[in-house]
Structure 1
Amino acid sequence: MIITDTIPKIRVSLATLAFALAAAGAAPLLAQEQASESDDADRASPVIVVTGEGLEDPLSSVAYDTRYIEREQLVSAASGRIEDALSGIAGFQQFRRSDSRSANPSAQGATLRALGGNATSRALVLLDGVPMADPFFGYIPFSAIDPERLSYAKVTRGGGSGPFGAGALAGTIELVSADAATLGTASGRVLSNNRGETEAAATLAGNLGRGFATISGRWDRGKGFYTTPTDQRVPATARAAYDSWSIQLRGVAPISDTVELQARGLVYEDNRTLRFDGADNSMEGQDASLRLVGTGDWQFDLLGYVQARNFTNVVVSSTRFVPVLDQRNTPATGIGGKFELRPPSGDAHELRLGVDYRLADGELFETAISAFSGNVTERRNAGGRNSNLGLFIEDDYSIGPVVLTAGARADRYSISGGFYTSVDGNGSIVSDEAFEDRSGWIGSFRGGAMVGLANGMRLRVAGYTGLRLPTLNELYRPFVVFPVTTLANEDLKPERLEGFEIGLDYSRGDRLDLGLTLFDNTVRDAIANVTLDATTRQRLNIDSIRARGVEASAALAFGKLRVNSSLAYVDAETREEGQAFNGNRPSQSPSWIGSATASWSFAERGLAALTLRHVGKQFEDDLESDALPAATTVDAYVEFPITNALAVVLRGENLTEETIVTRNQGGSVDFGAPRTLWAGLKLGL
């Protein structure tokens, strides 16, 4: 028996592109139909304003630890990357400190509150309401999300029970695309850095009838930097080269004076090289979504999406420097949607009812290769299907200065179709397993209160539970970061969260906004990469990960000068009686994370920003045997207008040349980005 790729490697399919283009094109066509009405009808009809956003934030949002990142902060990140901008909220982190130019994509899960320990996202990341996590791995395709396309980001730390709440174990990160007025008729930028790497992007946006449409593209490429220290380099050592592009089409049009149709298509590809020549990986995707938002007396949000994703990865031996594993194909499909209804209930009362569904289907094809002969030693094929159907309700009351909220979810999950097959180089069967299907119901809840005190002070308290299904990657895909092999585990159970928090906020208009939150969150049956021996780890459910800490934020405005800062301290530990890691910190989870940005607006469209960021000491593994030292970096951004439409942009990453250790396995080390200086032009019409 010889395994072949029964699903070919996903490319940009014409069908998916056609769907995305048709969806994006629906907005202007519908808008033109609206515009073709007679002048008399136009004068008689009400003014229709389309936003391209979902429903307004529910009353309940004030009871939870919610923070916003405005557009100015998003677009002034020194690296130009969304994960860098999100780091302005303390507690946000990926599994490793590398960004989407020099990290393996499968390590780019997003989490909050030090509830990490593996590379999968424990935070729910939404783009215009659509979950962005890869259906197979759970990572976030950060390189496909350009901050310039966004209006703002909303980050809620702590578990959630609203739409898609089954993925919001550590919190929710909501990214909202900008409308045509914000983007401008035409905009773009071209930059190059001191290594000759380039970043180029362009956007066209316009009002079509009573709606609008946008198309944007971005291309990043470069030879990268050496992640390997000088004393560990060999002839096969390679720079972290990268080449990525993405195109997004979006259309918004009114269906009536209270209903709008939103459509979005996103296509992207990303190729990277890590550490050695030939150690190449790639990810690609084609996403499309349609959304109907109603803002009348009966408010509603109806969303549907489809995602086609793929990932490849070549592992190169660190002793013989030849390929030893070719993860040549990992096709995955994500399908889902939601319906949320807010019936009329008065200004002081808000009821939310809804249902959401997600399906993840994917499989892995990989080939193991002898480092000595170059012959194929084993071919493996594994995969399965996860699905989740959630029913949710949330009820909010505003009683004078008090807001009360309570919500619940019931989730029907299914883990099915799991299999693992392998054959040796001669085609003889080594393993052929079909795993038992599993399903069940899990309930989760959240509730809170906000009390408005005197002089802009607000007290809030909240408690919540939540859940996260194991990903197909955790269930079925082993992986190698030489010399350590991490085994999959088809018997993993869903993770459960229990948590509470108390917070105090203070604001004085637009000039001052302070926040302080104390929290205690525990993940039961947490999925961790547990060390079995010197060269083997396995994904296992451990008793718990408990994270207790404090989060503080401050935003100050003095005329054209703004300061935004965020600081988090988390005492996190893994718990499993009798195990060597009991009481240790979760791997890759620092105690201290902080960020402060001072920005100054000048002239017309002029902006200067300076960012100080600190990440505390963390450990590579569950046994705390290999440390990653603390790192403090300084970044800068300057946008200087030379005409009404053209500006010079200067950016500086890691200006102090801080050594950022991103991986340490027995002294084999990788570094993050060194000092990087960018210069270019930015156009805005």
Structure 2
Amino acid sequence: MTSSRLALTVALAMALPGLARAATDAEQPAIVVTGQGLPDSPATPAYDVVTLGADQLAASASGRLEDALGAVAGFQQFRRSDSRSSNPSAQGATLRALGGNATSRTLILLDAVPLADPFFGYIPFASVAPERLAMARITRGGGSGAFGAGAVAGTIELTSAAPPQLGLFDGSALVNDRGETELSASLAPQLGGGFAELAGRWDRGHGFWTTPEAQRVPASVRARFDSWSASARAVAPLGSDTELQARVAAFNDERTLRFAGADTSSSGQTASLRLVGKGDWGFDALAYVQAGNFTNVVISSTTFRTSLDQYATPTTGTGGKLELRPPLGGDHVLRLGGDWRIASGEAKEVAYNASTGAVTARRIAGGRNSLFGFYLEDDWTLGPVVLTAGARADRWAISDGHFISRTAAGAVTLSSAFADRSGWETTFRGGALADLGAGVKLRAAGYTGFRLPTLNELYRPFAVFPVTTSANADLENERLRGVSAGLDWTPVEAVTLSFTAFDDKVRRAISNVTTGVNARQRRNVDAVHSRGLELGFQAAAGQVRFDGSLALTDAEVEASGTAIGLDGKRPAQTPRVAASGTLSWKPAEDWTLALTLRHVGQQFEDDLETDSLPAATILGAFAEIPLRQGLSLVLRGENLTGEQVLTRKQGTSVDLGVPRTVWAGVRVSLR
């Protein structure tokens, strides 16, 4: 992190107590701050929105964010493994089967700040504790207003919980049947007209076997993990309708995958300031800075010695936005604003001869991406009908791209400085929402979007035994065109059914294209085309509730030229069927009993459909049982039926997902 950005982080950290004092000294006790942004616009539901509440997010069987988001069928990471047993760089998130590579095609925001790593584009799921969230709003397709560049498969907006949800103190300690532990705590006092929050979580364990017993060798190890995250947040009123929000956060995540010495780590720090005004002229102003690092050691599967040491990948991201909502009367909600993001980073690695241990090359690769966008959107309410339309213009630039390779002695063998590129992308979206009465609402939308290649895709090669994938500095921007239509029906107050049909196409989609034996390269194919149906069902009867989600998708690659062998094939790691259903029972306010059944259909490991990952159905459970005032027993069960879930398959070499796991612990909650 540069000195100026480090100074900003320190300044924000020092500002938190001051904000808390400002809240305490406020002489306007009637002011209520939320820690959130501006209210949703009336046309938000036109874009196929699903909302997960705090109870749903906190009651996942694994206690991890990616598992909680899996309640929305169609959400997936690049691989089936979660953030305890996967390489962080493979944790891309996508929706609507618009996958095919490990970079996120879904924009994920935490309190309006983009969550993706600035260099790789992966999502650091371990850095976000789902029990600290108030809600997650998932928009499948449709792009976004602010920070819309990158939302080609949709947007996931995460909102941090405030004291009314968290309570003054909330803490839990759990252990599973393998001796792994999870500790989590938060302190969130109300301070005058505002509040402050301190939170942290620590997960560690020796892990489970990802390698089947028949394939283990002396160098094989369990998927060990050790991760922590911490955050400090304060919200203070600056007037009757304006609030200042500040947040600093840090995380560190270390894992060992498959072989002894195959250690990987990711870490990051984020600081943000946000000013929200909810008066006649609504506004939302945000600035943030991110810093991170990634390391990875690759172990040869034949000699079990180090073949590659990616010893550092320092990255920096900065950004911000300003949105205004001028008063135009009750029938119109106009949003206009601008946003910017700058990402820079450099991957540093040493290659070794896996037989002799001698250094064969020292490589550095990196660059800088920048985006400056402007957007305008209006919602017009005409009785039971809401019409919406919006446009964005983004100035993008790819610059400072370089790749340098040296010998062990430091002599340069290859030095490439890639040409700077820049341009404009314009995107549009529009939709309609009609309330027909009798509990029936119709919606329809059309949209475009785009995504800039990440620095990782442009400049950094990688290897997943036995395949090596090379980078491509000439990659073009991806561009989305899509339409969707659906209905929501609430025949009675406690029952809701939803149905959505969609047709989305990502042109110039970046894929890992097979170029030879155990060799691939990132390339633009003509398109990834996904069509499908999304169904949702929620029903409540007294203390019992059911939440169900089903996604049926037909996705295929459209390819010509050197990638013609991919034409008509399904994108890698993309299932046709995904479903989730949760049956929960709350016999009293502090009780929760829930069973979740998830199904993921068959999918292919690679672009040529050579290796198949069988379908998997997993049963999970969660229970919170009060023991006395403020003290509860917490029980969780992952994969209770012991389903064998393949997360990677290349020839006969496979990796496995989480086996049957049982957790038990206590939760202390003080209101």
TM-score in terms of structure 1 length:
0.96
**Residue 390 of structure 1, aligned match among 350, 353, 373:** 373
Residue 417, structure 1, aligned to residue 400, structure 2: yes
Q: Where does residue 449 of structure 1 map in the other structure? A: 432
Counterpart contact for 1:19–1:288, Cα < 8 Å: no
The correspondence for 2:23, drawn from 24, 28, 31, is: 31
Alignment correspondent of 2:575: 590
1:479 matched residue in structure 2: 462
Aligned to 2:34, which of 29, 48, 51? 51
The 8 Å contact of residues 615 and 631 in structure 1, kept in 2 or not, is answered as: yes
Q: Secondary structure at the match of 2:21?
A: helix
- 1:242-321 superposed matches below 5 A: 242-321=225-304
CA RMSD of aligned residues (A): 1.3
Q: CA deviation at 1:18?
A: 2.2
* Partner residue of 1:176 out of 159, 165, 168: 159
Q: Which residue of 1 aligns with 2:11?
A: 19
> Match of 2:566, SS?
coil
Query: Residues 263-321 of structure 1, C-alpha deviation per residue, up to 9 Å, x if partnerless?
Result: 11111000000000000000000001110111000001001100001100000000110
Distance 1:255 1:510, change over 3 A: farther
Amino acid at match of 1:184: G
In the TM superposition, residue 346 of structure 1 has moved relative to its aligned partner by 1.4
CA distance in structure 2 between the aligned counterparts of 1:561 and 1:297, rounded to whole angstroms: 42
Are residue 80 (structure 1) and residue 63 (structure 2) matched? Answer: yes
Q: For the Cα contact (< 8 Å) 1:20–1:266, is it kept in 2?
A: no
CA distance in 2, matches of 1:678, 1:161: 38
Following superposition of structure 1 onto structure 2, how do residues 204-603 of structure 1 map, counting pairs within 5 Å?
204-507=187-490, 510-577=493-560, 579-603=564-588
Instruction: Report what 1:3 is aligned to.
Output: none
Q: CA deviation at 1:372?
A: 1.4
Shift in Å, 1:604: 3.7
CA shift for structure 1 position 209: 1.3
388-397 or 159-168, larger mean C-alpha shift: 159-168
- Give unpaired runs (5+ residues) of structure 1: 1-6, 36-41
With over 3 angstroms needed to count, the CA separation of the structure-2 counterparts of 1:602 and 1:23, relative to structure 1, is farther
- Pairing 1:637–2:622 present: yes
Aligned to 1:619: 604
Check if 1:667 corresponds to 2:652.
yes
Counterpart-to-counterpart distance in 1, 2:524 and 2:288? 31
> Does the Cα contact within 8 Å between 2:228 and 2:252 map onto a contact in 1?
yes
**What secondary structure, in the 3-state scheme, does the structure 1 residue paired with 2:658 have?**
coil
Q: Does 1:137 align with 2:139?
A: no
Hey, what's the Cα distance between the residues in 1 that align with 2:200 and 2:402? 39
Distance in 2 (CA, whole Å) between partners of 1:524 and 1:117 is: 13
Matched letter for residue 29 of structure 1: R
Is 58-67 or 549-558 further displaced after alignment? Answer: 58-67
Tell me the distance in 1 between the aligned counterparts of 2:403 and 2:163. Answer: 48
What SS does the aligned partner of 1:613 have? strand
| Aligned length in residues | 667
Contact 2:525 2:560 in 1 (8 A): no
Match of 2:642 in 1: 657
- Structure 2 distance, partners of 1:361, 1:86, is 29
Quote the Cα distance in structure 2 between the aligned partners of 1:448 and 1:220.
43
**What is the deviation of 1:510?**
4.9
CA distance in 2, matches of 1:644, 1:516: 42
Contact 2:308 2:351 in 1 (8 A): yes
The C-alpha deviation readout for 1:116-140, integer Å capped at 9, x for no partner, is: 0000000000000000000000001
Aligned to 2:593: 608
The unaligned stretches of length 5 or more in structure 2 are: none
- Map 1:183-198 onto structure 2 (within 5 A): 183-198=166-181
Deviation per CA, 1:49-106, whole angstroms, max 9, x where unpaired? 1001111111220211001001111000010001000000011000000001001000
Partner of 1:38: none
SS in 2 for 1:635: strand
Report how far residue 481 of structure 1 moved.
0.7
Q: Percentage identity across aligned positions? A: 58
- SS in structure 2 of the partner of residue 433 of structure 1: strand
Q: One-letter code of the match for 1:615?
A: V
CA contact (8 A) 2:142 2:445 kept: no
Work out whether 1:71 is the aligned partner of 2:21.
no
Superimposed CA distance per residue, residues 579-598 of structure 1 (whole angstroms, 9 cap, x where no aligned partner):
11110000001000100001
Name the SS for the 1:569 alignment partner: strand
CA distance in 1, matches of 2:496, 2:146: 28
Q: Deviations over 1:342-385 (max 9, x none)?
A: 00011221110000000001001000011111111000001000
Distance in 1, matches of 2:358 and 2:238, equals 61
Contact 1:128 1:177 in 2 (8 A): yes
Partners of 1:261 and 1:680 lie apart in 2 by 37
Q: Taking structure 1 as reference, are residues 659 and 406 closer, same or farther at Cα in structure 2, changes over 3 Å only?
A: same
Specify the code of the residue in structure 2 equivalent to 1:152.
Answer: M
- 3-state SS, counterpart of residue 252 of structure 1: strand
Contact 1:357–1:390 (CA under 8 A) maintained in structure 2: yes
Structure 1 pair 22–502 and aligned structure 2 pair: CA distance change class (3 A): same
> Residue type matched to 1:539 in 2?
R
Cα distance in 2 between the residues matched to 1:303 and 1:17: 15
The amino acid across from 2:65 in the alignment is I
Contact 1:445 1:465 in 2 (8 A): yes
Aligned with 1:597: secondary structure?
Answer: strand
